[in-house]
Amino acid sequence: MGKIDESITNLTNLRSLVLSDNMLSGSIPRNIGKLSLLEKLELDANLLNGMLPLSLVNCTKLQLLILRFNSLGGRLSDFDFSGFSQLTKVDLNRNLFSGVLPKSLFSCKSLTAIRLARNKLVGEISPDILELPSLSFLSLSNNTFKNLSQALNILRRHEKLTTLLLSDNFINETLPASGISGFQELKVLGLCGCRLFGQIPIWLMSLTNLEHISLDGNNINGKIPGWLQYLPNLFYLDLSNNLLSGGLPVELTRLPALATHQVLDQVKNDKFELPMFNVNGSNWQYNCLASFRPMLDLSHNNLSGDIPIEIGNMKSIQKLDLSNNYFSGTIPSSISNLTNLERLELSHNLLSGEIPTSLTSLNFLSSFNVAYNNLQGSVPTGRQFDTFSNESYQGNPRLCGPPMLKSCSKRSDPPSPL
């Protein structure tokens, strides 16, 4: 803790300065440019404030600039990045930088990863970003960018882009329904929390390398398209908190990466150029795609109808969330086939009948919730089910047995013959 002493700039042969996660306060040393041989500057997860020191431009050999999780600020476009010809990664996530995207950043031809998320940046994404031929990772989430259609039409031409995170921007705009091609290497698409209107766009069907889609927290309506089954590598799909209607299409249960372990095992363990972080802003990080749990989240929509028995085909899935919809009918016993399932959320629906006792065979189940339905009968017991509290079942007055307060009435024995 404490401040970074200015005397550190006297170490003129220094090539790597890594002081991450040390509760350092104050500003970056004003004369840091004296470290002209510096290749790595990593000061992330501290309490630093102030602006980027102008002398930093003298560090022309810089390859990594990692300053995320601080309180640095000022107009980012006032800083001249153009001298950083060897810069490969810049991470200014969760700071207080303002203004527009700095055009000088796009002259750093070696850049493979840019993260400027969780700042106060505004404006539009310029075609100048196409001047970065090696860009693979781009995260601009949680700013105030506008014109999503233009942004997608520009970024689709980045041939090496694998991770695109644009969440919490483009507020109340419309998700383009068609006309977007390209993105042939894209594996991760994050457009959550934008309150976008429109439907799930058909151009996603051509992005066959997609493994992770986050479209939660929008105003997307219409039905869930069955053609999603043709995304062969998709194992993480979050469509929660939208206005989707209709049923859960059987085709969705045929997603190859969620149906067979063999396909899921082919999901590459390649590390991200920069780690991904939880959308809620916590410091929990994911260093590769394989760190994400295979998931289908359709919660908080207007979906209805029966849960198809084919849901049991999704044998690789670890999280299934269908809560806060209007699903009716019974809970399919085929869910017991999902032997990797860790979290099952079915609360706040119109489900009836009994809870299948076969679900007790789900040995990895750590979270289970069927609250506020029309379920009846005995609560299953044994194994994982002995760990779930009353909160998992409340709002079902016809359920009985532990951990419910209501006991199950036993049938009385027939009277003995006289």
Q: Give the pLDDT mean for 368-395.
A: 95
Q: Examine the pLDDT at 418 and tell me if it is beyond 50.
A: no
pLDDT in tens, 158-196: 999 999 999 999 999 999 998 898 999 999 999 999 999
Enter the DSSP assignment of 142: S
Instruction: Give the residue with greater pLDDT, 399 vs 265.
Output: 399
Instruction: Give the residue with greater pLDDT, 405 vs 366.
Output: 366
Say what the pLDDT of residue 268 is.
Answer: 61
Sheet-wide strand order for 96-99: 2-3, 24-26, 47-50, 71-75, 96-99, 120-123, 144-145
Looking at the DSSP assignment, which residues form a beta bridge with residue 137?
113, 163
pLDDT in tens, 271-308: 888 888 875 545 578 888 888 899 999 999 999 999 99
Neighbours of 270 (CB within 10 A): 11
Say what the pLDDT of residue 22 is.
Answer: 94
Say what the pLDDT of residue 413 is.
Answer: 45
Q: Examine the pLDDT at 409 and tell me if it is beyond 90.
A: no
pLDDT in tens, 208-267: 999 999 999 999 999 999 999 999 999 999 999 999 999 999 999 999 999 987 767 777
Taking the alpha carbons at both ends of the chain, their separation in whole angstroms is: 89
Say what the pLDDT of residue 274 is.
Answer: 87
Q: Give the pLDDT mean for 383-394.
A: 93
Taking a C-beta distance cutoff of 8 angstroms, is the pair 197, 175 a contact?
A: yes
Q: Which of 211-225, 259-273, 367-381, 387-401 has the lowest mean pLDDT?
A: 259-273
Q: Burial level of 240, CB count in 10 A (0-12/13-18/19+)?
A: buried
CA–CA separation, 29 vs 53, rounded Å? Answer: 7
pLDDT in tens, 318-358: 999 999 999 999 999 999 999 999 999 999 999 999 999 99
Taking a C-beta distance cutoff of 8 angstroms, is the pair 151, 175 a contact?
A: no
Q: Which of 20-24, 133-137, 276-280, 312-316 has the lowest mean pLDDT?
A: 276-280
Taking a C-beta distance cutoff of 8 angstroms, is the pair 168, 144 a contact?
A: no
Q: Give the pLDDT mean for 39-64.
A: 96
pLDDT in tens, 5-18: 999 999 999 999 99
Domains belonging to the chain, first-starting first, are 2-400 (3.80.10.10)
Say what the pLDDT of residue 405 is.
Answer: 84
Enter the DSSP assignment of 354: P
Say what the pLDDT of residue 280 is.
Answer: 52
412 pLDDT band (50/70/90 cuts)?
very low
Instruction: Give the residue with greater pLDDT, 411 vs 291.
Output: 291
Mean pLDDT for all residues in the chain: 93
Picking from 162, 214, 166, the residue whose alpha carbon sits closest to that of residue 186 is: 162
Instruction: Give the residue with greater pLDDT, 118 vs 291.
Output: 118
CB neighbours of 306 closer than 8 A, spacing ≥ 6?
A: 247, 327, 328, 329, 330
Q: Give the pLDDT mean for 33-58.
A: 96
